[in-house]
Amino acid sequence: MIKNILIAGALSGVLALPGKAQITVTSANLPSANDTIRYSNCSPSSVTYSVTGANTYWDFSTLSMTSQGLYKYVPASATPYAFYFLGPGKYGLKIADSIGTGTYTFKNVYNFYKKNTSVFETEGIGFQYSGIPLAATYSNPDEIYVLPLHYLNHDSTTYKFTVQLSTTIYYSQLGYRITDVDGWGYIKTPYDSVPCLRLVSTTYGKDSINYSGFGFNYPDIQRSYKWVTTSEKIPVLELDGTYNNNTFVPTQARYRDVYRSTTGIQPLGEKPAEWTLYPNPTAHFIQLMGISTPCEIILRNTLGNEIWKGYSHTIDISSLPNGMYWLQIGSSTKKIIVQH
């Protein structure tokens, strides 16, 4: 089964938060070609998703990373399926090395997207079947978001594609998507604390295989809960799962994140999360406070690339371009804003 996978996360605990204004999400706040964005996976069982509404505070600061990955959005021309997705503005995201089983195994699977001021949609799927690069282009694209996104938006859209796998085998998928922006407020994760909109999106699909005139249909109903922001190009938090008989069963969760060590081995002299830094934003230096023993300190950019390592409690950042960076001591990471 080939299925759109957009990005996932997890949640945990909700409180009221007064005095915050609603946000509006536009196409400028969504991924573009050449964006590379890091995320962390976490256990879907750690999720609480039932509470939502106006002016809500979602506190998911205690989510625990199980693994990490990168979303790499690339121009369609840089993928093995460029021939199928010609034209400006189309870009791909590899979503799996392999999907399916047995005869119906699809490898090197990409989703292809396009956006404008009114919609962010899936244009099609590229994959290898029996070693041959193929693509399923939507005759009716799957509109993931109808833009701009506001609180209480309600949209219902349809999608359909058919692809010939061999001279006798056809695979098709059709269905409809219902999306509601059912909450707004503020969300806190291990990555950041930001204003957000909460979306619930359900796809009612049917996968079909036609073999020499004989057809087989497989109902496929999926639901996702997404917390979207104006500061991040993927949901800062997303929970995906199946939805049958009005019952949601979470299967995967992801949240926007910075690079974190997955070895569980911490450097000698690591300090816990009570350490602080000052000033922030800054133009010339960062001073670390609350550290009394030697600690290995690592400065990273937003892609997780290491750009400085040392033990000094005062760090000269005057040569860094304006932007966001991350300072890591052991498993504790804090955000730095450089503004010259």
What's the burial of 185, exposed, middle or buried (CB within 10 Å: 0-12/13-18/19+)? buried
Are both 228 and 308 inside the same structural domain? no
Shared-domain flag, residues 58 and 149:
yes
How many domains is the chain built from? 2
Same domain, 245 and 300: no
Reported as a single tens digit per residue, the pLDDT across 50-63 is: 999 999 999 999 99
Token pair belonging to 314: 């005062």
Name the least confident of 32-41, 160-169, 219-228, 259-268.
259-268
Q: Is residue 58 part of a domain?
A: yes
Q: In what order do the strands lie in the sheet with 332-338?
A: 306-310, 297-300, 323-329, 332-338
Parent domain of 301: 276-338
Whether residues 240 and 327 share a domain: the answer is no
Average pLDDT over residues 277-287: 83
Asked whether residue 282 falls in the same domain as residue 135, the answer is no
CA–CA dist 95, 74 (Å, integer): 12
d(CA 197, CA 181): 7
pLDDT in tens, 291-312: 655 677 888 887 778 888 887 7
Judge whether 298 lies within some domain: yes
Give the residues across from 99 on adjacent strands: 106
Are residue 151 and residue 193 in the same domain, yes or no? yes
The answer as to whether 6 is a domain residue is no
Global confidence as pTM: 0.74
CA–CA separation, 250 and 223 (whole Å): 9
Who contacts 88 (Cβ-Cβ below 8 Å, separation ≥6)? none
Residue 37 banded pLDDT, cuts 50, 70, 90: very high
- Around Cβ 143, how many Cβ atoms within 10 Å? 20
Exposure of 116 by Cβ count < 10 A (0-12 exposed, 13-18 middle, 19+ buried)?
exposed
Q: Which of 228, 60, 223, 234 is closest to 150 using CA atoms?
A: 228
Question: Quick check: is 269 in a domain?
Answer: no
> How many beta carbons lie within 10 A of that of residue 300, not counting itself?
19
101 in a structural domain? yes
| Judgement on whether residues 151 and 282 belong to the same structural domain of the protein | no
Q: Can you tell me the distance from the alpha carbon of 105 to that of 33, in angstroms, rounded to the nearest whole number?
A: 27
* Two tokens, residue 162: 């058919």
- The domain spanning residue 316 has which CATH number? 2.60.40.10
Cα gap 75→127, rounded to integer Å = 16
Checking if the pLDDT of 111 tops 90, the result is: yes
Same domain, 96 and 158: yes
- Kindly state the tokens that stand for 189: 């994760």
pLDDT of residue 316: 84
Are 211 and 166 in contact by the 8 Å Cβ rule? The answer is no
> Is residue 174 included in any domain, yes or no?
yes
- Same structural domain for residues 83 and 161? yes
Helix (H) / strand (E) element for 235: namely none
Task: Answer yes or no: do 212 and 328 share one domain.
Answer: no
Average pLDDT, the chain: 85
> Do the domain assignments include residue 153?
yes
Asked if residue 88 and residue 221 are part of one domain, the reply reads yes
Is residue 241 located within the same domain as residue 281?
no
**DSSP secondary structure of 209-234:** EEETTEEEEEEEEEEEEEEE-SS-SS
118 occurs within a structural domain = yes
